[in-house]
A and B are shown apart, each in its own frame.
Chain A
Amino acid sequence: MTVETAATQGKKDFKTDGSALKGNFREYGLVLALILIMLFFQFTTSGTLFRPVNLTNLVLQNSYIIIMALGMLLVIVAGHIDLSVGSVSGFVGGLAAVMMVQWHVHYIPATILCLLVGGAIGAAQGYWVAYHKIPSFIVTLAGMLVFKGLALWLLGGQSVGPFPPQFQLLSSGFIPDFFGGTTFNTTSMLIGIILVALMIYFSIRGRTKREKHGYEGEPFALFVAKNLIIAGIILYLTYLLSSYKGLPNVLIVMSILIALFVFVTKRMTIGRRIYAMGGNEKAAKLSGIKTERLTFFTFVNMGVLAALAGLIFAARLNTATPKAGLGFELDVIAAVFIGGASAMGGVGQVMGAVIGAFIMGVMNNGMSIMGVNIDWQQVIKGLVLLAAVVFDVYNKNKA
């Protein structure tokens, strides 16, 4: 610990803090890893990875994992785990198929009902974890078996489909082009440009606000470079997607959810309290935080997101199968841990989990294009997960 005089202490309040930057290093490193992995596959697949059609596929294939990773991040930060998300998403997909295909329920009430069922499932599991202190590993392991079985029973062991065309749009639809372009989706490109403009506006506003209060932000050059690079990447990807069919609907849903969860975890009291609880539950409780209710909430939230993921997956396949959702929980949990969350709770970032999910997704996609066998894909993914966590622990011990 450094000891300093009172005189320097006052000044230090307003200086850039080294440790905050260091905390961000991990996120930068993760982005860098994703970019390197993408470039690697871009090279080994002779340019297939970045083709607009493949990029679109990449988004569609990974959307449900990313959506569940958002909920899983909160669960893991809170110090728990949810093994049931794969089974729950499969069950809800089956429920949606039965309602829409066999009972001819309109797709809007059916969707809402499915999300509510997801929330109820999360509540049922969260109840035991939060209020009876049953280890989440056990409760959700039971849930995994229960909902896998219920999905089989619900579908009678058969695939049920196809879904109404409007419902399919959830997964296979794209932002319509109001400019009537045939080869290029101008609306999508415009959305991308507006998004970038908003992003730059908000980061400049935040910076001036800090400076007005006398707090120094990161160096100006770094600030500009960071914003330009992020803007460039978003614009380029939007351009690629627009030159195929445009922005997929599911990408819009996903982006809104990511933004929402970043906001909740970084800016809202409820997010802060979840981190405090995961870091030291006893201390959080003695600080007046209602830890039981908070734990319960994270599981309800997880249930709703698992249900949404199940709907997206079912809409994408245009059929609900008893095997849907099998093993999803592993990809979701792996994404969160690759993203830097701690199995002990209290540590983890939404963007980390999203990038972690994309790292897994790009590897799946790239290795498939390269023709790597599914067996070796598993081996490599497993090793990457281990390497990411070992790297984290090693860094932490060094610090």
Chain B
Amino acid sequence: METILEMRNITKTFPGVKALNNVNLNVRKGEIHALVGENGAGKSTLMKVLSGVYPHGSYEGEIHYNGQEQHFRDIGDSEEKGIIIIHQELALVPLLSIAENIFLGNEPAKFGIIDWHIAENRTRELLAKVGLKEDPLTLITNLGVGKQQLVEIAKALSKEVELLILDEPTASLNEKDSDALLALLLEFKAHGISSILISHKLNEVGKVADRITVLRDGATIETLDKGEISEDRIVTSMVGRQLADRFPQREPNIGDVVFEVKDWVVHHHIHGDRTVINGINLNVRKGEVVGIAGLMGAGRTEFAMSVFGKAYGQKISGDVLIKGKKVDVSTIGKAIDNGIAYVTEDRKTYGLNLIDHIKHNTTIAHLEGVSNNGVIDDMSELKVANEYRRKTNIRSSSIYQKTGNLSGGNQQKVVLSKWLFANPDLLILDEPTRGIDVGAKYEIYSIINQLVSEGKSVLMISSEMPELLGVCDRIYVMNQGRLVGEMPASEASQEKIMRAIIRAEGKTS
């Protein structure tokens, strides 16, 4: 079969990180090519290189499309050639109609005056192609996610698409919508349109893909043909990596249960009828590091934030117990007072005051600790800030450096300092090493070890399975708002975790 796209030896470097390392991807005309790999394996980066989000010159390697080498400078260039990417977060304007969205930036117009008659008629044709029975004048905000996905695809069709890239298109769809979408892909295939499908749902991939390319740590591992595709094979290929000395050693010294959650149920913060967390029971012991594994969107962050003073969600029910006693966590202040701290996954948006310096960021969650009757004692604040800067090994010119000017790893250490100073019994860490280089990761793991050796407890959410296996004593697996597995780290493996997730996915989708 003829090749439509060939990406040769693509290498993309960000400051301090090699996101892609000599990646090769070969897509044939009229095939559905799946791209799989763990979070952070480089799938999205590769697609951004392809679509011109990262322009020619910002990466090494060659892109050949329809037999010609391409130098895309932006998305417009790649779209002109018929390469259309549909992102996981939909890029539709909610308060505009379907027709307006489909022709946004591409309106059928003469002298700047839009011919809505043509636009609506063409929209009707496109909607028929994707099998969506909606009026072109319906506002996007009135459509469900599944239908919005179809509008995105109709929009792609309006641009004469040859190669359609879908980034986790079914992540937020229910089974029926997912099936409809996959059927649509097969139909496009019959019409000669090629697709690249990025997905975590390996059962789906197995259903529709002709070939699969596996990425791991920014490198191509292998490309499998339809005949060779089995879930076991893919999982091994995705996660098979050695755990060398990436994690500091620790002698676990585990005591009684410190923190316990019972029958925790949370509903979506906007759509109150959607259950996000569905009856979770878990516990953490003194001196224990407990991990929560799962794919993106499994509900782990939502769970953590809902426990932390109901910072997420509505209609929350269930009990939180600290050292066997039921505690009130209805506000963040109360959760902190009861000894819970939550280190966010998004330190820039939720963790730090980036325009202020390290000292002020360190004490803000526990100002009582450096003040008397509401008056801050300068000297003790200075002492605290310097002490935690040393403890967590923050590299900065002084405690007066703005946190916005620190590297990701050092920013994370400031956030950790803030919560260490608040002196919690349970520290919830949400993706504590996201976007941090390997050296800083090791330091963060060391801080975690230090913490539990002092008798604190840690609940750690991470999408990097090796990290969970290397740091935790016990691991829960979460999927779609439920716990679908629990295992001691000594018995856990990446394959076991992946299987637990895939088994659960198979049941629900």
Contacts and interface: CB of A to CB of B under 8 A. Distances in A.
Interface of A: 1-4, 9-10, 12-13, 15, 17-20, 209-210, 213, 215, 267-270, 272-273, 275-276, 279-280, 282-290, 342, 346-347
B352 A280 contact: yes
Contacts of B332: 285-288
B453 interface: no
Contacts of A13: 386, 389-390, 398-399
Nearest to A9: B390
Given A279-B356, A346-B353, A273 B364 contact: yes
B417 to A, nearest CB: 12
B364 A289 contact: yes
A285 B336 CA distance: 12
Interface string B87-131: 000000000000000000000000000000000000000000000
A209 B374 contact: no
Interface string B399-418: 11110011100100000001
Nearest to B398: A17
Interface in B404-444: 405-407, 410, 418
A4 B395 contact: yes
Contacts of A20: 400
Contacts of A12: 397-398
A282 B347 CA distance: 11
B374 A269 contact: yes
Given A268-B371, A280-B352, A284-B364, 13 more contacts: A9-B390, A19-B402, A20-B400, A215-B382, A272-B367, A279-B355, A279-B356, A280-B353, A284-B353, A286-B308, A286-B332, A287-B365, A288-B336
Contact of B367 (A15, A273, A342): A273
Contacts of A2: 395-397
Given A209-B379, A276-B360, A284-B364, A19 B353 contact: no
B147 to A, nearest CB: 29
Nearest to B370: A269
Interface residues of B, number: 48
Most chain B beta-carbon contacts within 10 A, residue among A3, A15, A268: A268
A283 B356 CA distance: 12
Contacts of B364: 272-273, 276, 284, 287, 289
A283 B349 contact: yes
Given A10-B390, A12-B398, A269 B371 contact: yes
Contact of A210 (B354, B379, B400, B406): B379
Interface of B: 308-309, 311, 331-333, 335-336, 342, 344, 349-357, 360, 364-365, 367-368, 371, 374-376, 378-379, 382-383, 386, 389-390, 395-402, 405-407, 410, 418
Nearest to A290: B333
Contact of B376 (A1, A10, A267): A267
B336 to A, nearest CB: 4
Given A17-B400, A19-B401, A19-B402, A272 B360 contact: yes
A181 B163 CA distance: 94
A283 B355 CA distance: 12
Most chain A beta-carbon contacts within 10 A, residue among B352, B396, B418: B396
The B interface is mostly helix, strand or loop, or mixed, namely mixed
A273 B374 CA distance: 11
Nearest to B342: A286
B356 A276 contact: yes
Contacts of B365: 287-288
A3 B396 CA distance: 7
Most chain B beta-carbon contacts within 10 A, residue among A282, A283, A342: A283
Given A19-B397, A275-B360, A276-B364, A283 B410 contact: no
A13 B389 CA distance: 10
A4 B397 CA distance: 8
8 contacts: A1-B395, A1-B406, A2-B395, A20-B400, A209-B379, A275-B360, A284-B353, A290-B333
Contacts of A289: 364
B311 A346 contact: no
A285 to B, nearest CB: 7
Most chain B beta-carbon contacts within 10 A, residue among A272, A282, A288: A288
A53 B382 CA distance: 46
Contacts of B352: 280, 283
Contacts of A1: 395-397, 401, 405-407, 410
Contacts of A276: 353, 356, 360, 364
B190 to A, nearest CB: 48
A267 B375 contact: yes
A1 B365 CA distance: 26
Contacts of B402: 19
B390 A286 contact: no
B400 to A, nearest CB: 4
Contacts of A273: 364, 367
Complex A-B, nearest 8 residue pairs according to Cβ-Cβ distance, in ascending order: A279-B353, A287-B365, A17-B400, A19-B400, A269-B367, A13-B386, A17-B398, A288-B336
